[in-house]
Structure 1
Amino acid sequence: MDEKHILGDLAWTQQRTVSRSKFWVIITSFLSCFYIILHSWLGILPSTTESGSLKYNEELISWQSCGSFKGNPLECSSINVPMDQFDLGFPGDRTFTIPLVRMRGNNATQNLLLNPGGPGASGFEFLYRLGEQLKAVVGEGFHLLSFDPRGVNSSTPIASCYPDDRTRQKLSRVRSLHVIGDSPEVYAWAQNFAKACPDTMGEYAKYLNTPQTAADMNSILDALGQQDMIYWGFSYGSLLGQTYAGLFPERSKRVIIDGVVNQFEWYEGLFEAQSVIDTDTVLDGFFDECINGGAENCSLALLAASKEELRDTVLSYMDTLRDQPISVYINNSVYGLLDYEKVWYNGFLEALYKPSMWTALADNMYRLIQGNATNAFLAYGIEEIRDWHHEANEFITLNDGISGPMHWPRDRQTFLDKIAPLFNHSLFSPVQSKIYYVRQHWAVPKTHSYVPRKSVKTTHPLLILSTTYDPVCPLIAAWSANEAFEGSQIVEVKGYGHCSVAVPSVCIAKHVRAFLYEGKLPDTYTHCEVDSPYFHRSDKSEQLSAHKHFEDVEEARIHQAQVLLARDWDFVSAN
């Protein structure tokens, strides 16, 4: 074939290809326009207002673009809620402003509300930092929406016991971890703190509580044009979820509570002693898994042949550290004392929440016991400025429960005698000491009447998630929620850590998806396995790698996201 014919055939082929391309461009454009028109009509795609904000059909609020996280765009809005949600005659000019943040799902028509815990944790920080991983677990069928509850973070007015951060840093510190020796100081400090909080907040102080926040979530739903509550709450967020379901069972269609707080103890008990009943068991699990992992994965295994021997070795060293803190000098701007409290509470207690920290804790402790305190000091000994610039945790805890002189003896010694048995429940119990002294002196009147009940029938039963051994929200609390809500079901992750997301488990993700999308609950009490070793070695570049191989692509993606969640989640105690 000559060159002329070749060029002619080539030209004809190119023309045909162009024609086909134009055809598919036209078809694709038509389908895209149809998609946009249809989704806009359904309210899935936004219209743009004159101010540049986004407005969706059925919603009563507008949104502004507020950044993105790893390619996932975020949008922000806010609503005003009444100071008192339960008194419709209350003056309407007194409100809380509740900021909202949302990561949209590609195939979503409904919003999944998320609360990370606390009380006092920021929903904004939560979604900005972990939204991508949560989206991978939940899927594209829901918009992920979180918020800063009243009094928290960027809400206004913010819950505060001090006029500014400088005063907070100056006046908020008090020693309380030596239960007997620190008692006189914390007893005196708590009296001033209990006066400063309502003095700073004024009338708003009375309305910082969980039932009010639960009612605020209805205001959020109403602003979204969404009737049904779809919710996943972690730690204290489980208490918020239970409170919501107890107050508004008719709107509770898909409620997941994860790392469960016992609402009966929270609202009606003098002590929350149950919260620490498994804390020492998790500590024992740390020693057990260390021995099982071997010295190649857990440095501390070099010091003992059994978990019992290792426990004795570490606790004996901690007694030595209690008697004599260590002076650590790195340079003229980085030095200080490494003492028992810093290692025990900043190191061990924090790691009990997050097993992903266990390998590093073992390495630091091994070096410390061998005489090198540098790593432990850098990890646990440098006093950090408190991240939270509010006292929402204290306000909500104290306003929810049984506080004040009507319930507690006024003199210090009688009070100390009353709370002393609490500190026998766990090696970590002294961390609760300070809040009880404030309970003794708290004088803010209670403005909610919520009383937990059993056998509450919700629109759809609750899904309850827990690990076998949670250091602060024990499995027994999940059973209390199971009794409280008719038809609810527990799925237990057979492992250690705070909330189901403390460890990777694709099994848990499958149950979450089946519940959210189809309303499916297991027929009976169900167990899920952990998909990760507790101790493992990896260099910095490999920390994002999967811990288990999955043939299914979607399961592998979920597992990868769960590994990141377990590593990066900043768990916030309800205590």
Structure 2
Amino acid sequence: MMHSITTWASALLLPLAATTAAAAALPRADGIVWGECHIEEDTSSLPVPVQCGKLTVPLDWSGKTTDKTIDIELIKWPAATQPAPKGSILLNFGGPGGDGLNNFVSYAPLQAPIIGDEHDIISWDPRGTRNAIPVICYNNTATNAELTTYLSDWYNASDTTPSHLWTEATVLSELCQNALQEVGPYVGMASVARDIIAIVDALGEDGLLRYWGISGGTSMGATVAAMFPDRVDKVILDGVMNAHQYYNSPVETEFISSADDVLRGIFNACIEAGVEKCPLASHAKTCGGLEEKMDQLVYELKYNPIPFASAALGSGGIVDYSILFNWLFSKLYVPKSYATVAKVLEGLFRRDATALVEAALIEAGASTPAAGPIIRAVWGIRCGDKRPRADSKEELEPYVDQLEANSRWFAHFGLASNAYLCAQWPFEAVERYEGDFTGVKTKNPVLFIGNTYDPVTPLVSARNMSSGFEGSVLLQHDSYGHVSFTTQKSNCTEAAISAYLNEGKLPAEGTVCKPNLPIVNYVTGEI
């Protein structure tokens, strides 16, 4: 992730006052050597030949705890003209904890046409992911099969679930403590921010950061921009997390603020389309009626789960509250899944789980992990960065009340895997950003993008974060789903991104970009 020669040391000295670690002189990363790619995902499908490289960087940038180094792996989509006329743009795919190289194969083809062909497009494996000091607490083996289901139940699945989840988090935190003694403190975002600046310098361009971060990559982008404001050229934060809560709240209560509205949007679109195009509409004449049906389904799945036994599918089991909502919440991210959501809920309203089972089996067949190490980068990064901890689940109950005030159906998503585990996490990041993301004056202004109806990074978070960066602009992508370019396509949004990256032109304050197609087309599958 880092950098090479000239501007490096001077650039890193300034921001140290704003972080927990300080040093009179910082080590320097070596250069990047590019060559063929050998990664898990097949890169032959990409429209251009990509290159991969490595950069050796310090494990601890302060040099206080160790002088060890690590190798950061990178991937590059070269510009049509070399050297790239407008420099390199770094992509981060969020999580936090998504690896850069494999995700690049899926995301870069969507982003490259928006960016244009005058930039090199680069991503990297952030610390904690893949081969970059991966966060591995246990292996996926037959004896550890139960561990893979830990923290998957929803907090309110039963009155005993919270205690079970807290205890499961205790087990996992102890396993991670045993396994991560040499890794745990070094995967936080401040360390990655220094890695990013080292990459910028290693590229040997103008020493300025061009970056497009999505989801968890927005907290990463906000951190690097706040730590290194004089290094910012163009920074896009798309699908914005509330970084204030990421670092400073034991429970991130804001993130599900719009989740209910996404499901209501599906209900409204289905009513608009009518029974013929959306059979879910047969269960009620109004959105409010479908909401009531949803409430009934929640109750039934808790106290009377739906059985299924299919000879055709060769599978059987039960669908309970946690199973449905784990599946459902993930589908709210992408509008192309909304037709499946409508089909699944229609069946479940009749106590028929066939559609859900079929969808889940298809997804499981495509993603079942092989036996071997289970990388939990999101645990190491998020939990190591978080300052407040808790000694009991009771300390977190006031935050649960806030979550429930923010969402009728999705209040408890991720409560255990985020809050319960982070409360007991055995490591603190060796360096954390100590500022408050207010009054940040970057060399060039930051572009924030927030979707109107985003299940996990609501528009309110984008507003909160943009308010702390002087001169920044918030572009409202008037879409359902998560992140601008994976949801409802908008020529307006894509043109605004391109103009910013290529011309430095920000959209006017208050710009709202409408999608090319309304949400009803996605709910009926007419796209």
> Paired residue for 2:138, among 155, 159, 162?
162
Give the distance between the partners of 2:399 and 2:523, measured in 1 at CA: 44
Give the 3 Å change call, closer, same or farther, for CA 411–514 of structure 1 in structure 2. Answer: closer
Matched, 1:229 2:229: no
Once the two structures are overlaid, the 10-residue window that deviates more, 278-287 or 380-389, is 380-389
> Paired residue for 1:186, among 165, 180, 185?
165
Q: Paired residue for 2:412?
A: 430
Task: Judging by fraction of residues, say which structure has more helix.
Answer: 1
Correspondences of 1:340-489 after superposition (within 5 Å):
340-347=321-328, 349-380=329-360, 384=364, 385=368, 389-404=374-389, 408=390, 410-412=391-393, 414-415=394-395, 417-424=397-404, 425-426=406-407, 427-434=409-416, 435-450=418-433, 451-489=435-473
Offset from partner CA, 1:320-358 (integer Å, 9 cap, x none): 2322222212238422212222222202x1222111111
Give the 3 Å change call, closer, same or farther, for CA 355–257 of structure 1 in structure 2. Answer: same
Q: Paired residue for 1:551?
A: none
Give the distance between the partners of 2:376 and 2:144, measured in 1 at CA: 10
SS for the counterpart of 1:194 is helix
Give the 3 Å change call, closer, same or farther, for CA 133–442 of structure 1 in structure 2. Answer: closer
SS for the counterpart of 2:127 is coil
In structure 2, give the amino acid aligned to 1:71.
Answer: P
Q: Paired residue for 2:56?
A: 80
Give the distance between the partners of 1:470 and 1:80, measured in 2 at CA: 37
Q: Paired residue for 1:139?
A: 116
Matched, 1:527 2:509: no
Give the 3 Å change call, closer, same or farther, for CA 266–478 of structure 1 in structure 2. Answer: same
Gaps of 5+ in 1: 1-57, 548-575
Q: Paired residue for 2:100?
A: 123
Report deviation, 1:69.
Answer: 2.3
Q: Of the two structures, which has the highest relative contact order with CA contacts closer than 8 Å and spacing of 6 or more? A: 2
Q: Paired residue for 2:22?
A: none
Preserved contact between residue 72 and residue 132 of structure 1 (Cα < 8 Å):
no
Q: Which has the larger radius of gyration?
A: 1
Aligned residues: 476
Give the distance between the partners of 1:499 and 1:261, measured in 2 at CA: 11
In structure 1, give the amino acid aligned to 2:224.
Answer: Y
Give the 3 Å change call, closer, same or farther, for CA 485–60 of structure 1 in structure 2. Answer: same
Offset from partner CA, 1:41-100 (integer Å, 9 cap, x none): xxxxxxxxxxxxxxxxx9742322554324321111111221112x145543x2232111
Matched, 1:257 2:237: yes
Give the distance between the partners of 1:386 and 1:311, measured in 2 at CA: 35
SS for the counterpart of 1:232 is strand
> Paired residue for 1:200, among 162, 166, 179?
179
Report deviation, 1:485.
Answer: 1.0
TM-score, normalised with respect to structure 2: 0.84
Q: Paired residue for 2:126?
A: 149
Preserved contact between residue 208 and residue 233 of structure 2 (Cα < 8 Å):
yes
Q: Paired residue for 1:218?
A: 197
Matched, 1:61 2:61: no
In structure 2, give the amino acid aligned to 1:510.
Answer: A
Report deviation, 1:204.
Answer: 1.8
Q: Paired residue for 1:277?
A: 257
Give the distance between the partners of 1:389 and 1:138, measured in 2 at CA: 34
Preserved contact between residue 469 and residue 475 of structure 1 (Cα < 8 Å):
yes
Matched, 1:247 2:219: no
Q: Paired residue for 2:12?
A: none
Give the distance between the partners of 1:170 and 1:371, measured in 2 at CA: 28
Gaps of 5+ in 2: 1-29
In structure 2, give the amino acid aligned to 1:395.
Answer: G
TM-score, normalised with respect to structure 1: 0.77
Correspondences of 1:94-109 after superposition (within 5 Å):
94-107=68-81, 108-109=84-85
In structure 1, give the amino acid aligned to 2:147.
Answer: L
Give the distance between the partners of 2:136 and 2:77, measured in 1 at CA: 29
Give the 3 Å change call, closer, same or farther, for CA 428–382 of structure 1 in structure 2. Answer: farther
Report deviation, 1:392.
Answer: 0.8
Offset from partner CA, 1:422-471 (integer Å, 9 cap, x none): 44132212223213222332231342241233121111100110111211
Q: Paired residue for 2:91?
A: 114
% identical aligned pairs: 27
Preserved contact between residue 92 and residue 100 of structure 2 (Cα < 8 Å):
yes
In structure 2, give the amino acid aligned to 1:474.
Answer: P
Give the distance between the partners of 1:167 and 1:500, measured in 2 at CA: 41
SS for the counterpart of 1:335 is strand
